[in-house]
Amino acid sequence: MNHIISNTDTNAYQRLTDRFARMATVEEAMAMLSWDEATVMPDGGAAARADQLATLSGVVHSMLTEPAVADDLAAVAASPPASVAAQRNLDLMHRAHRQATALPGDLVEALTRQASNCEKIWRAARSASDFAMVAKPLAELLALIREKAAALAAASGLDPYDALIDGYQPGIAAAEITPVFARYETFLHTALPAVEELQAKRPHRLPGTAPFGESAQEALCRKLAAGVGLEFSGARLDRSTHPFCGGTPTDIRITTRYDENDFAAALMGVLHETGHALYEAGLPREHARQPLGHAAGMAAHESQSLIIEMQAARSEAYLNYLGPVLAEAFGQDANAFSPVRLAARLRHVQRSFIRVEADEMTYPAHVILRYRLEAAMIAGDLAVSELPGAWNDGLHHLLAVTPPDDARGCLQDIHWYCGLFGYFPSYTLGAMAAAQLMAAARRAIPSMDASLSQGDFMPLLTWLRSNVHRHGARYGFNDLLRQATGKPLDPADFEAHLTARYLA
């Protein structure tokens, strides 16, 4: 009897892994279509592409919500698989199934429609810097998002806002994030004026002389991405309006854009996306296309892009390597790319209005602002009509600057207007995790700076593969940090990093 049950359950688990592999394969197709849309698709293809992505999304949703899934999950639960990996994979299947079945079909449909509608109006509102244009569609979208949060909360036992965060980064909740962000605000209150004072005393000469030719920039980006460890036999670098890392683990598509007046944006962008790419490429192949074989979450992903871009590539050691490489790439004098001049471009701290242009020290302030506002909106404590005022007050409170208009204020980011609530904290959790991981990697690799000063990322990459990438989704955010660094998220490492870099 036991034997028969065991057989049945094994088959049920096998059926589930087959099904999740098919789902992941369709999602790979969607990733390629999204890359195509952002890079090469002619305008005429837009409507058909939206249909293709919606249809494939529906295919995946159907695969996940067919009654057979619940049956198989129930059958396996009776005698769970023996290996820890399979148990975790099964937990992640349960989680995916719970999330997919928690939302009524008409809510999903209304959300998709309203997100698309609101995003379209937001584009016009941002152009006109007129929040009033988009206030009503955003309020309607927020109402649906709050329904979604309530439904996910009911299914998971989490608080509504936590249930949204959990959709992007499992393993951390607002109760942990709030004090971490409050502490950072306190740190910034003292550190930022101190950095500004120090900076004012130093010469501010930018590196090199524009123009920096696009093809020279592109060749340089390829060279440095390859130097970090990206293998172009399984990757491409292309152009898009908004840089991203897409594709699949064996066919990674990173993009950037080039500005001939500023080589640094494209270069640092490519190194950032290369960090994402290396994470994808380093995920456990033996669990490919299984929930366990995916990345651990968006904050974990951001930690991998930022450990390359912010921790390693902007380190003193790497700037020493970078200078001559840049001089050669642009055919300019090596003195024009001295560490001091590179730092003037790559390590300059400045209060500003725009999140995506912010330096690593003030960036968290932008995220903290959004975190507090979206938490209040989800809780029902902040109405959409109050958002512009709350935004401007909040930014002034954090950075003592006030946006001149809503285009440079609460209209600047797409996230809320296309329904992304709960995503923002991942940026700063990722930055803090990157500092914590880098500190641990430095302890494990005493020669880190010697390697980076030769442009050699292999020691760091090997450590990341072993301590982060190969685990896939085995751990939630804090557990991933715990096993890699010996402790859960600890903002002290990020503060120590900033202090060492900007206040030494």
Q: How big is the site for its own copies, counted in residues (CB under 8 A)? A: 34
Backbone angles phi, psi at 467, to 5 degrees: -100, -15
- Here the tokens at position 121 are 């109006």
- Determine if 44 is a binding residue for its own copies (CB under 8 A): yes
x-marked contacts with its own copies along 369-398 as a string, rule CB under 8 A: ------------------------------
Does the annotation mark 28 as catalytic?
A: no
Question: Which position among 233, 241, 331, 504 is part of the footprint of its own copies (CB under 8 A)?
Answer: 233
Centre a 10 Å sphere on the Cβ of residue 202 and count the other Cβ atoms it contains.
11
**From candidates 15, 19, 49, 61, binder to its own copies by CB under 8 A:** 49
Distance in Å, CB of 213 to its own copies, minimum: 17
Residue 174 or 245: which CB sits closer to its own copies?
A: 245
Identity of the residue, 252 or 296, whose beta carbon is nearer to its own copies in the bound complex: 252
Strand ranges of the sheet holding 251-256, from the earlier edge strand across to the other edge? 235-239, 251-256, 245-248
One of 29, 100, 111, 444 touching its own copies (CB under 8 A) = 29
Near its own copies by CB under 8 A: residue from 1, 4, 47, 84? 47
Is 42 a binder of its own copies (CB under 8 A)?
Answer: yes
Q: Per rule CB under 8 A, is residue 344 in the interface with its own copies?
A: no
Contact region with its own copies (CB under 8 A), list: 41-49, 76-84, 112-120, 461-469 = 41-49
Closest CB 72 distance from its own copies, rounded Å = 18
**CB-wise, 36 or 91, nearer to its own copies?**
36
Nearer to its own copies, 21 or 124 (CB): 21
Find the shortest distance in angstroms from Cβ 261 to its own copies. Answer: 26
Residue 215 interacts with its own copies (CB under 8 A): yes or no: no
Can residue 45 be called a binding residue for its own copies (CB under 8 A)?
A: yes
The alpha carbons of the chain give a radius of gyration, in whole angstroms, of 23
Q: One-letter amino acid identity for 275?
A: G
- Which of 478, 480, 477 is closest to 468 using CA atoms? 480
Instruction: Give the interface segment with its own copies, choosing from 45-53, 188-196, 291-299, 334-342 (CB under 8 A).
Output: 45-53
Among 8, 19, 36, 99, binds its own copies (CB under 8 A): 36
At residue 172, what are phi and psi to the nearest 5 degrees? -155, 150
Run of H or E residues at 256 = strand 251-256
Which residues ranging from 154 to 193 are in contact with its own copies (CB under 8 A)? none
- For position 214 contacting its own copies by CB under 8 A, the verdict is no
The only residue of 232, 389, 450, 500 in contact with its own copies, by rule CB under 8 A: 232
CB 158 within 8 A of CB 166: yes
User: Any residues with CB less than 8 A from the CB of 274 and at least 6 apart, and which?
Assistant: 225, 228, 229, 230, 245, 254, 305, 308
**Where are the alpha helices (H) located in 129-173, listed in sequence order?**
131-156, 160-168
d(CA 175, CA 180): 9
Q: Does 40 bind its own copies (CB under 8 A)?
A: yes
Q: Which two tokens stand for residue 319?
A: 């700037």
Q: Is 33 in the site for its own copies (CB under 8 A)?
A: yes
Taking CB under 8 A as the rule, does residue 152 contact its own copies? no
> Quick one: how many helices (H) and strands (E) in the chain?
20, 3
Question: Is-cis flag, bond preceding 211, omega within 30?
Answer: yes
Nearer to its own copies, 20 or 475 (CB): 20
What are the C-alpha distances in Å from 96 to residues 89, 90, 227, 262, 478? 11, 10, 37, 43, 20
User: Per CB under 8 A, does 231 bind its own copies?
Assistant: yes
- Which of 10, 15, 19, 41 binds its own copies (CB under 8 A)? It is 41
Q: Which helix (H) or strand (E) holds 113?
A: helix 105-128
- At residue 451, what is the residue type? S
Answer whether 473's CB lies under 8 Å from 296's CB.
yes
Q: Find the length of the chain.
A: 504
> Can you tell me whether residue 242 is helix, strand or coil?
coil
Q: Pick the stretch among 20-28, 74-82, 408-416, 434-442 that binds its own copies (CB under 8 A).
A: 20-28
Asked if 26 is part of the footprint of its own copies (rule: CB under 8 A), the reply reads yes
Check residue 109 for interaction with its own copies (CB under 8 A).
no
Contact predicate 484/467, CB 8 Å? yes
H-helix segments, 283-386:
298-306, 316-330, 339-346, 363-379
Stretch 236-255: interaction string toward its own copies, x if CB under 8 A: x----------xxxxx----
Of the pair 100, 414, the CB lying nearest its own copies is at 100
- Catalytic residue, candidates 37, 176, 273, 360: 273
Rule CB under 8 A: is residue 454 a binding residue for its own copies? no
Structure tokens at 315: 């380190």
The contact set with its own copies (CB under 8 A) reads 22, 25-26, 28-29, 32-33, 36, 40-45, 47-49, 51-52, 55-56, 58-59, 231-236, 247-251
Active-site amino acid positions: 273
